[in-house]
Amino acid sequence: MTSSSPAQNGRQIGGGDIRRAVEVEDATIIYNLPFNDLLFRAQQIHRENFDPNAIQMSRLLSIKTGGCAEDCGYCSQSAHYPTGLKASKLMEVERVLAEARKAKDGGATRYCMGAAWRNPKDRDMDALVAMVERVKALGMETCMTLGMLTPAHSARLAEAGLDYYNHNVDTSERYYSEIITTRSFEDRLETLANVRDAGIKVCAGGILGMGETTQDRISMLVTLANLPSPPESVPINMLIPIPGSKLENAAPVDPIDFVRTIALARILMPKSHVRLSAGRTDMSDEMQALCFFAGANSIFVGETLLTADNPGEDHDAALFRRLGLKPMQLGPTT
Q: How far apart are CA 73 and CA 42, in angstroms?
A: 31
Catalytic residues: 68, 72, 75, 112, 143, 203, 275
CB-based contact 74:247 (threshold 8 Å): yes
**Total residue count of the chain as it appears in this document:** 334
Please, which residues bridge with residue 202 across strands? 165
Q: How far apart are CA 321 and CA 47, in angstroms?
A: 20
Q: How far apart are CA 249 and CA 257, in angstroms?
A: 19
DSSP-H helix ranges across the chain: 24-31, 35-49, 93-105, 125-136, 151-160, 176-179, 185-197, 214-225, 255-268, 285-293, 313-323
Expressed in angstroms, the distance from the first to the final Cα of the chain is 33
CB-based contact 285:318 (threshold 8 Å): no
CB-based contact 13:6 (threshold 8 Å): yes
